[in-house]
Amino acid sequence: FPAVPYGPLDFHCERELNSWSSPLILNAGWLTGLTDLHTGRENVRERIADYLTSILSIGFSGFRIDAAKHIQPDDIVAILTKLRN
């Protein structure tokens, strides 16, 4: 994904979900084969926060974090604390 830019290290390794009870698999696996951003990486967090800030700046009043159970809670907090008004 060079336009973003994301490289191979910005994604979790390819790992199909084979357990709905393992936190490692839930947070670092590919849901239905979709690539999974490594939200523990600072540059990934920054890029997500920049995008969320940009949509808030054009009038969005909020957003929904879909499939949040597949993201480490600490990563969500780290991303949300980077939002700018």
Contact 11, 38 (CB under 8 A): yes
Structural domain that includes position 68: 8-80
Q: How far apart are CA 69 and CA 43, in angstroms?
A: 21
Q: 42-72 burial, b for 16+ CB within 10 Å, e for fewer?
A: eebbebbbeebeeeeeeeeeeeeeeeeebbe
Q: How many domains does the chain have?
A: 1
Regarding pTM above 0.85, the answer is no
What was the pLDDT predicted at 58?
Answer: 95
Does some domain include residue 2? no
Q: Read off the pLDDT of residues 15-35 as tens digits, 9 standing for 90 and up.
A: 666 666 776 666 666 566 677
What was the pLDDT predicted at 84?
Answer: 79
Does some domain include residue 36? yes
Q: Read off the pLDDT of residues 38-78 as tens digits, 9 standing for 90 and up.
A: 999 999 999 999 999 999 999 998 889 887 878 889 999 99
Does some domain include residue 26? yes
Does some domain include residue 15? yes
